[in-house]
Amino acid sequence: MTANRLAESLLALSQQEELVDLPKDYLLSGSEDEGDNDGEREHQKLLEAISSLDGKNRRKLAERSEASLKVSEFNVSSEGSGEKLVLADLLEPVKTSSSLATVKKQLNRVKSKKTVELPLNKEEIERIHREVAFNKTAKVLSKWDPVVLKNRQAEQLVFPLEKEEPAIAPIEHVLSGWKARTPLEQEIFNLLHKNKQPVADPLLTPVEKASLQAMSLEEAKMRRAELQRARALQSYYEAKARREKKIKSKKYHKVVKKGKAKKALKEFEQLRKVNPAAALEELEKIEKARMMERMSLKHQNSGKWAKSKAIMAKYDLEARQAMQEQLAKNKELTQKLQVASESEEEEGGTEEKVEELLVPDVVNEVQMNADGPNPWMLRSCTSDTKEAATQEDPEQLPEPEAHEVSESEGEDRPVAEEEILLREFEERRSLRKRSELSQDAEPAGSQETKDSSSQEVLSELRVLSQKLKENDQSRKQKASSEGTIPQVQREEPATEEEEPLLLQRPERVQTLEELEELGKEECFQNKELSRPVLEGQQSERTPNNRPDAPKKKKKEQMIDLQNLLTTQSPSVKSLAVPTIEELEDEEERNQRQMIKEAFAGDDVIRDFLKEKREAVEASKPKDVDLTLPGWGEWGGVGLKPSAKKRRRFLIKAPEGPPRKDKNLPNVIINEKRNIHTAAHQVRVLPYPFTHHWQFERTIQTPIGSTWNTQRAFQKLTTPKVVTKPGHIINPIKAEDVGYRSSSRSDLSVIQRNPKRITTRHKKQLKKSSVD
C-alpha cells in the first residue's frame, strides 16, 4: 500500500518536473550556450509559435514569473523524446550503483503485490449496517408477535398490566383417570418414560426442581459481580503486561530480567532452607534444563545473529559485549550446579570472561566444543530440541503477548478454575490479534513474529528460574487464599449450573406453553364437538324450513290470479249468526246476489293487472334513443328516420334483476330503493372483511339490553380497554409477559464497532443476515 503510494507520488513528481522543464527551456532559448540540436528545435518552436499567433489555436504559453537563467545540470529534461517520463527512467542511474538495486527490488516487490481491496464507500457501509441492524432488530422484536396477537384478540385489556402468575394447571388433575389409548399417545408416553420425564405426579424432574431451588436472585447477582471483578482485574493485569512488553528499552528489560533472576535465586535459597525436598526437585529441573541447553546450540554464538555480530565485533564494542553476554549465559546454563564448588565456578567464570573479552567467535566455539562432550550430538540435536520445545506447549506460540502470564504452568494448577475463564478470554483475544495480524500482513510483522517465537523458546528456558519462585508463590497462595479458592471452586460449578439453567428454562417454559396449548386445543375440540352437534341440529332444522320455500315457489308459478280470487271458499255456519241474518235469511241470499251484480261490472282483477304492468314498465330501465333525424338521409316534416338507423342508435338498457313479485300475480312490490333507510346502513366494509355477507354476520346479533339478558348485555358491551384510575400505566415489559429480560447488547455491536468493511465482508454479512 505505502509502496504503491510512494510510486505514485514519485510519478507525480516526475511529471511535475517535466512540466516545469518545458517553459524553462523556452526561456532559456535565447541563451547562447546551446547545441545545434537545440538551436534547430528552438527554431521549430519559434515557427510554431508564430504560426499559432493567428486564429484560435494560438497557443497560450505558460508564463513564468520567476526568471531563472541558471541552467541546472541536475535537472532532468525530457526534451527531444516528447514522451512521458517513466519511473524506470528516473531510477536508471547514470552509473550502476548497488544502492539503487535494493530500491528496484523493493519496487518490484511492491508491483508484484496484489493491491488491497478497496474499502467500500461510506453509503454502502452504512447501508449494510442498516440492513444488519434491521434484521437483528426484527428478530429481536419478533418475539413480541404472539403477545401482540394475543392482545389484539383479547376481549378485554386491563391496564396497568398485571403480571399474571402462570397458573400451572396441575397435570395430575388433567391426567387422573386418563390413559394412553391411541398408538400415538402410547408412543409419546414411552418416550417420556424412557427419558425419565415426569408423567403424572411431580410436574418437574428432580433435576429441574433442584435447579429451580439452586440460587436466589441476590446470590446470582453477587456471583456475577465477583466474576466481573475478576475479569476486570485480569484485564488490568494483561494491559499492564502488554504495556511493559511494548517498552523498547533494552536496558529496562535487562534490569527486569536480572531482577527476576535474582529473585528466583533468592527464593531458591529460601526454599532450600525451608523445604529441602522441593529444592531438590527444583534442582533436578534445573539440571534437566541444563542438559537441554547443552544439547542445543543456543547461546553458543553460532546463529546468524551471532555470526553477524562476530563480524562487527572487531569494531563495535557493543556487539562484542552482546556476544560475551551470550556466552556467559551459555555457561551459566550449562554449568553443573552441585558438582563444582563456588570458588571454582567463580574462577571458571572469570577465566571465561577474560577469554571472551579477547577471543572472537571461532575460538570460543572451539573451546565450547572442547567443553561439550560431543560436538556432533550438539549439532544434530538442535533442531530436534527446538521442535520438541514447540511441541511442549503449542499454545504459547500463537500468544506471544500473553506469554508472561501463561508461562507459569505451575501457577495454573492451583488456580485452574480461574484459568479456564482466563484462557477463554485469552483465546478470544489472541484470535482477534491473529486476525488483525493477518489483516495488515506486512513483511516486517512476519519477521517480528519469528523473532518473538524464537524468544519464546529462549524464555522457556527461563522456566527454570521462575519455577523456583512459582512453587513458593503457589504455596503462599495455598496458605493465604485457602478461603478464596474454595469460593472460586464453588463459583465454577455454580456457573456451570447456571448455564444448564439458562438452557433449561426456556425449554421448561416451552413445555408449559405447550401444555396450555394442549389444554386450549382440548377446549377447542370440545367446542368443535359441540358445534357440529349444533350445526347438525340446525341442518336438521333448516331442511325442514328451507326446502319448503322452493317448493312453494314452484307452486307459485302456477298460481293464477283469476283462480286465486274466484275460488269458492267454504262458508262458515257459526253457532251465533248475526241476529239480523237469522231473521232475514232470504234477504242474505238476495244481498249476495246484489253484491255479485254490483261487482260484475268493475273488473278488479283486470285493473290490478294493468296497474302491475304499468309499475313493471315504470321500474324497467329505459333505452336511450340517440337517432338524429336528417343526418345521413332526407329530413323534413313527415319524414321519419329509417328503422335501420334507429336500430343502430338505440342504446339498450341492461336488464335489471328479476322482480320480487315476478311470480306473485296478486302483489306489486315496490322495487325502488329506500334511500332514507340506506342512509342509516353501513356503506363501507370495515377492515378484515372482504365480503358484505361476512360483516353482516357479525352485526346480526343485537347487543342492546332490550334483546339480551342483563349479563349478556354487559358482556357484549364490555369496554375493550379498561384502565384503573390512579395507576400509572407503564409500557409493556418482557417480564410482564413472562419473557426474561432481553439482551440488547447484540443489537448495538455493529454500530459501536464500525470497522472498515470490504466487499468480502459485505458478502459475509449478507450471508449472515440471510441466515
Partner 1 sequence: MGEMETAPKPGRDVPPKKDKLQTKRKAQDPFPGPAPVPVEVVQKFCRIDKSRKLPRSKAKTRSRLEVAEAEEEETSIKAARSELLLAEEPGFLEGEDGEDTAKICQADIVEAVDIASAAKHFDLNLRQFGPYRLNYSRTGRHLAFGGRRGHVAALDWVTKKLMCEINVMEAVRDIRFLHSEALLAVAQNRWLHIYDNQGIELHCIRRCDRVTRLEFLPFHFLLATASETGFLTYLDVSVGKIVAALNARAGRLDVMSQNPYNAVIHLGHSNGTVSLWSPAMKEPLAKILCHRGGVRAVAVDSTGTYMATSGLDHQLKIFDLRGTYQPLSTRTLPHGAGHLAFSQRGLLVAGMGDVVNIWAGQGKGSPPSLEQPYLTHRLSGPVHGLQFCPFEDVLGVGHSGGVTSMLVPGAGEPNFDGLESNPYRSRKQRQEWEVKALLEKVPAELICLDPRALAEVDVISLEQGKKERIERLGYDPQGYDPEAKAPFQPKPKQKGRSSTASLVKRKRKVMDEEHRDKVRQSLQQQQQQQQQKEAKAKSTGARPSALDRFVR
Q: Which of residues 453-512 bind partner 1 (CB under 8 A)?
A: none
Specify whether the CB–CB gap between 595 and 603 falls below 8 A: no
Give whichever of 153 and 391 is closer to partner 1, judged by the CB atom: 153
Contact region for partner 1 (CB under 8 A) — 34-42, 89-97, 325-333, 670-678? 670-678
In the complex, what is the shortest distance from the CB of residue 174 to partner 1, in angstroms, rounded to a whole number?
10
Q: How far apart are alpha carbons 365 and 420 in whole angstroms?
A: 46
Q: How far apart are alpha carbons 323 and 356 in whole angstroms?
A: 8
Q: How far apart are alpha carbons 455 and 511 in whole angstroms?
A: 57
Give whichever of 576 and 728 is closer to partner 1, judged by the CB atom: 576
**Can you say how many angstroms the Cα of residue 337 is from the centroid of all Cα atoms in its chain?**
61
Specify whether the CB–CB gap between 180 and 188 falls below 8 A: yes
Considering only residues 99, 343, 435, 574, which one is a binding residue for partner 1 as defined by CB under 8 A?
574
Give whichever of 174 and 501 is closer to partner 1, judged by the CB atom: 174
Q: Which residue stretches of 416-547 are H helix?
A: 416-439, 443-461, 463-480, 484-545
User: Does residue 699 belong to the site contacting partner 1 (CB under 8 A)?
Assistant: yes
Considering only residues 346, 581, 614, 623, which one is a binding residue for partner 1 as defined by CB under 8 A?
581
In the complex, what is the shortest distance from the CB of residue 684 to partner 1, in angstroms, rounded to a whole number?
7
Considering only residues 694, 723, 748, 764, which one is a binding residue for partner 1 as defined by CB under 8 A?
694
Using CA atoms, how far residue 221 sits from 218, 227, 247, 491, in Å, is 5, 10, 39, 12
In the complex, what is the shortest distance from the CB of residue 201 to partner 1, in angstroms, rounded to a whole number?
14
User: Does residue 716 belong to the site contacting partner 1 (CB under 8 A)?
Assistant: yes
Report cis status (omega within 30 of 0) of the bond before 702.
no
429 contacts: CB under 8 Å, gap ≥ 6: 238, 402
CA angle 247, 249, 251 (to 5 degrees): 130
In the complex, what is the shortest distance from the CB of residue 427 to partner 1, in angstroms, rounded to a whole number?
50
Residue 311, beta-bridge partner list? none
SS3 73: coil
| Region 144-163 residues binding partner 1, contact defined as CB under 8 A | 153
| Region 598-637 residues binding partner 1, contact defined as CB under 8 A | 598-599, 604-605, 607-608, 611
Q: How far apart are alpha carbons 323 and 320 in whole angstroms?
A: 5
Considering only residues 80, 443, 632, 688, which one is a binding residue for partner 1 as defined by CB under 8 A?
688
User: Does residue 690 belong to the site contacting partner 1 (CB under 8 A)?
Assistant: yes
Give whichever of 592 and 733 is closer to partner 1, judged by the CB atom: 592
Considering only residues 56, 179, 251, 760, which one is a binding residue for partner 1 as defined by CB under 8 A?
179
Whose grid coordinates read 530440541? 385
Specify whether the CB–CB gap between 736 and 161 falls below 8 A: yes
Considering only residues 96, 693, 720, 770, which one is a binding residue for partner 1 as defined by CB under 8 A?
693
Report cis status (omega within 30 of 0) of the bond before 688.
no
Pairing relation of β-strands 650-651 and 721-723?
Answer: unpaired
Return the amino acid letter for 454. Answer: S
235 contacts: CB under 8 Å, gap ≥ 6: 425
Q: How far apart are alpha carbons 378 and 226 in whole angstroms?
A: 52
751 contacts: CB under 8 Å, gap ≥ 6: 129, 133
User: Does residue 558 belong to the site contacting partner 1 (CB under 8 A)?
Assistant: no
In the complex, what is the shortest distance from the CB of residue 150 to partner 1, in angstroms, rounded to a whole number?
12
Q: How far apart are alpha carbons 469 and 304 in whole angstroms?
A: 33
Q: What is the DSSP letter of 396?
A: G
User: Does residue 672 belong to the site contacting partner 1 (CB under 8 A)?
Assistant: yes
User: Does residue 70 belong to the site contacting partner 1 (CB under 8 A)?
Assistant: no
In the complex, what is the shortest distance from the CB of residue 178 to partner 1, in angstroms, rounded to a whole number?
7
Considering only residues 564, 624, 628, 722, which one is a binding residue for partner 1 as defined by CB under 8 A?
564
Considering only residues 697, 733, 755, 763, which one is a binding residue for partner 1 as defined by CB under 8 A?
697
User: Does residue 576 belong to the site contacting partner 1 (CB under 8 A)?
Assistant: yes
Give φ, ψ of 218 to 5 degrees.
Answer: -65, -45
Give whichever of 608 and 739 is closer to partner 1, judged by the CB atom: 608
Give whichever of 46 and 595 is closer to partner 1, judged by the CB atom: 595
Residue (of 312, 300, 307) closest to 364 by Cα position: 300
Give whichever of 604 and 637 is closer to partner 1, judged by the CB atom: 604
SS3 604: helix
Whose grid coordinates read 338524429? 628
* Torsion 37-38-41-46 (CA) sign: negative
User: Does residue 96 belong to the site contacting partner 1 (CB under 8 A)?
Assistant: no
Pairing relation of β-strands 650-651 and 624-625?
Answer: antiparallel
Give whichever of 178 and 315 is closer to partner 1, judged by the CB atom: 178
User: Does residue 695 belong to the site contacting partner 1 (CB under 8 A)?
Assistant: yes
| Region 194-223 residues binding partner 1, contact defined as CB under 8 A | none
Element of type H or E holding 661: none
In the complex, what is the shortest distance from the CB of residue 203 to partner 1, in angstroms, rounded to a whole number?
20
User: Does residue 702 belong to the site contacting partner 1 (CB under 8 A)?
Assistant: yes
Q: Which residue stretches of 359-439 are H helix?
A: 361-371, 375-392, 403-406, 409-412, 416-439
User: Does residue 565 belong to the site contacting partner 1 (CB under 8 A)?
Assistant: yes
Pull the grid cell for residue 626. Answer: 340517440
Considering only residues 176, 343, 438, 743, which one is a binding residue for partner 1 as defined by CB under 8 A?
176
| Region 303-342 residues binding partner 1, contact defined as CB under 8 A | none
| Region 649-668 residues binding partner 1, contact defined as CB under 8 A | 660-661, 664, 666-668
Considering only residues 100, 210, 377, 577, which one is a binding residue for partner 1 as defined by CB under 8 A?
577
Could you report how far apart the first and last alpha carbons of the chain are, in Å?
A: 35
SS3 651: strand
Considering only residues 222, 311, 682, 749, which one is a binding residue for partner 1 as defined by CB under 8 A?
682
User: Does residue 592 belong to the site contacting partner 1 (CB under 8 A)?
Assistant: yes
Contact region for partner 1 (CB under 8 A) — 268-276, 342-350, 489-497, 588-596? 588-596
Give whichever of 179 and 752 is closer to partner 1, judged by the CB atom: 179
Number of residues that bind partner 1 (CB under 8 A): 93
| Region 520-549 residues binding partner 1, contact defined as CB under 8 A | 526-527, 529-530, 533-535, 537-538, 541-542, 546
Contact region for partner 1 (CB under 8 A) — 39-47, 112-120, 511-519, 571-579? 571-579
In the complex, what is the shortest distance from the CB of residue 439 to partner 1, in angstroms, rounded to a whole number?
51
In the complex, what is the shortest distance from the CB of residue 575 to partner 1, in angstroms, rounded to a whole number?
5
